[in-house]
Amino acid sequence: MTKKRSSHRNIKSKRPSRPRENNQKQEQEEIVKHNLLTLLYNSAESLRSKDILRQLNLERSAGKSLYNLLTHLTKKKILKETDKQCYHLGPKHGLAEGILDQNARGFGFVTGLTSKTNPPNYSKDPFLSPSNIGSARHGDRVLIHVFKVKKDGRPEAEVITILERGRDHLAGFVTKEPGKIIVTPEDPHYPFSILLTGKIPKTLQDGDAVIVQITDENIGANLQEGSLLEILGNPDSVDVQMRLVIEKFSLPHEFSEETLRQTKAISEEITPSANRLDLRDITHVTIDGETAKDFDDAIAVQKIRTGFRLYVSIADVSHYVAPGSALDKDAYQRGTSVYFPGRVVPMLPERLSNDLCSLVPNKDRYAFTAILDFDRQGHLRGKQFTKSIICSKNRFTYTTVRQILIDRDPKVRKAHKPFLTPLKWAQELATQLMHIREKRGSIGFTIPEPFIGLDAEGRIASISRSERNFAHQLIEEFMLAANEAVAETFSEQHLDGLYRIHERPAPEKVQEFVEFARTLGLDLPPLRQDPDWFGQVLGLVKDSPKEYVINNLLLRAMQKARYDRKNVGHFGLAATDYTHFTSPIRRYPDLTVHRTLQTFLQRKVSVRVKKKAEKISTKDMGSALSIRERVAISAEREMNDRLKVRYMKDKIGEEFEAVIAGVNSSAIFVELLDLFVSGGISLSTLKNDYYIFDGRHHRILGKHSGKTFQLGDLIRVRLQDVDTTKNRVYFSPVLAQEEEA
């Protein structure tokens, strides 16, 4: 009996281990399967089973289980046996690679699919459940296996292997717990915490923003190890927020030592030469905002017998930045400068952007000049491009030019008497150019932008509407004219350069907008796929409460402008030829345009210009620089939103005028009219009625009262709460009875 009891206890004690053993066996089989598929995906030829066994570093004893796996995958057509025990990927292998876009709740999607074999042909990005992501992280390039496609066309997949880590360091916030320090990543795409190991400075405070190095070591559920790289400090600081945005968007922000050495060695001397036109006697001026520090464009307008002569002189960055140099490589990696309130992540070192390439007044500067002749009605009649030397005669601000030309302020005009006539000519030419552009159908979106003012300590002090006056329009018209003239030269001479293109909007997107606009009661003109139709729609809502919403929705219906060597025109500007020539200090595409144009001018023949052997083709360059531009725009918006949220912290309980910018089944989204702060109203906070989402009419409807909250409506709201961790603002509506009380 004793033995039986003992035997029974032993059997009983072993039972729980069997599932563990089975799980371990299944996990091991899954690892072998993943390694096998990765091996065959990367193999240029079929592999024999014995070679697979060897390359996977498996013991001979694993031969039978490998054979069973190969047979199983062959039956499912994931593999194909080409010869006796010789295998390669089959017709239904479902393998593809892409970038993991992970959600805060753990699941994710894989974007930008490519494959070394058959190109993936899925209508939607593959979905990965948390259990099928494994140790992959947001931003990793992964190899996936699509094992199912749902009825709606959404593929389901699992990560086979991590091809390349997206990033190994993250920004986050410190939480001090007894005996340990935990960092929560600021970016919600990383749904795990990091346990800090190694030496911890005593200066580290609870709540500090930090940069940590993460390892591939999972030490618990949603927990990884990491080491401290840098203490940023109090997250309420503008500079700390800037670093957090830089980390989130992986913005290059430090120049290489070689770049700094090259920059330091550049000579300041400006030397006239035979291949440069001396334009120092021309009355060039710069016109920029009050806070501008880099002046990359100067203009001059002369009245000539047939009309006007416009000089658009652009800082000659190409003189200082040689192709393939360290300076050039750093600039290309950035693609563009990124502008934050009171701060900038420059494309070029400050010595170039704010000094040698800045067209500051009364200093000789190298430039690249477009000399454009127009008739009295503003039609282009002649164009010439040349390397030059200029000397700006004055630094104007938009405000000063407005006071001279529009307000006609006597004191300001007297102080700038030598420039009154050239500015008058500039006004006349810009007015004609604007009329021509509007007549041809150029779309004039009117979306106001915020100006965020900082105090002396770098804290946000105010938010106001950015002023836009005729001085802005004047400079814009001249820059557009120069850009179009250069692009026309590219087209006429068949040059291999970068165009700035804007393709026609997709018909289905426009139709969605039309259906929405009709729900708001807009009487739209007959639909036409040309820019003028969009301009007419914008005219219908000009200066009305619906102007902001219609402008935004119509903009969303548009394609995104981008850079490409193939010229398809610019739909938004109604231009057949367009490029970016006017800002090489802050945009790399403009630098490439200068180089292409200069190569053509040096040859002085109207033949196709063959590109020199380069590592990056014009096509690939256009794609890469378009991506860098979109990243910069997203980073700038993110920074503005963060500062807006912190600006609202001490305004809880205050009331504001807002416009309803969106609705869904759980919330109303509003934007404050004066502060440009976005936030949400949860439907659960509306206690006076039961509200229903009416998606067809883009509104929320009160079941009993009939009260509606519709997209585009003006509404008065009260600030309820601010969450600086998630960068969210919460409002509640001020109802009519409250206002009457």
Which of 94, 93, 97, 95 minimizes the C-alpha distance to 164?
97
Tell me the mean pLDDT in the region 176-203: 92
Residue spans of alpha helices (H) in 520-546: 531-541
Residue 736 has what pLDDT?
55
Query: What confidence category does residue 428 fall into, taking pLDDT thresholds of 50, 70 and 90?
Result: very high
Q: Is the predicted pLDDT of residue 609 greater than 50, yes or no?
A: no
* Per-residue pLDDT tens over the stretch 371-403: 999 999 999 999 999 999 999 999 999 999 999
* SS3 letters across 35-54: HHHHHHHHCCCCEEHHHHHH
Rg (CA), the chain: 31
Q: How far apart are CA 430 and CA 441, in angstroms?
A: 17
Residue 533 has what pLDDT?
92
Tell me the mean pLDDT in the region 165-172: 90
Vertex 386, ends 381 and 388: CA angle to 5°? 130
Asked if 96 and 146 count as a contact pair (C-beta separation under 8 A), the reply is yes
Residue 741 has what pLDDT?
44
Domains annotated for the chain, with CATH where assigned, are 20-89 (1.10.10.10), 95-164 (2.40.50.140), 169-235 (2.40.50.700), 273-426+451-465 (no CATH), 470-639 (no CATH), 648-740 (2.40.50.140)
Residue 1 has what pLDDT?
40
Residue spans of alpha helices (H) in 94-221: none
What is this structure's pTM?
A: 0.85
Q: Write phi, then psi, for 668 (nearest 5 degrees).
A: -110, 130
How far is C-alpha 66 from the geometric centre of its chain's CA atoms?
A: 46
Number of CB atoms found within 10 A of residue 308's CB: 22
Tell me the mean pLDDT in the region 233-252: 92
Q: How far apart are CA 206 and CA 184, in angstroms?
A: 12
Q: Is the predicted pLDDT of residue 19 greater than 60, yes or no?
A: no
The helix or strand, by DSSP H or E, that contains position 455, with its residue range, turns out to be none
Tell me the mean pLDDT in the region 53-76: 88
Quote the mean pLDDT of the chain: 90
* SS3 letters across 394-412: EEEEHHHHHHHHCCCCHHH
Which of 18, 59, 17, 56 minimizes the C-alpha distance to 37?
56
Q: Is the predicted pLDDT of residue 6 greater than 60, yes or no?
A: no
Residue spans of alpha helices (H) in 520-561: 531-541, 547-557
Asked if 572 and 505 count as a contact pair (C-beta separation under 8 A), the reply is no
Residue 15 has what pLDDT?
42
Query: What confidence category does residue 543 fall into, taking pLDDT thresholds of 50, 70 and 90?
Result: confident
Q: Is the predicted pLDDT of residue 615 greater than 70, yes or no?
A: no
Residue 458 has what pLDDT?
76
DSSP state of 695: G
Q: Is the predicted pLDDT of residue 644 greater than 90, yes or no?
A: yes
Tell me the mean pLDDT in the region 252-272: 96
Tell me the mean pLDDT in the region 32-37: 92
Task: Annotate 100-112 with b (16+ C-beta within 10 A) or e (fewer).
Answer: bebeeeeebbbee
Longest CA pairwise span in the chain (Å) = 122
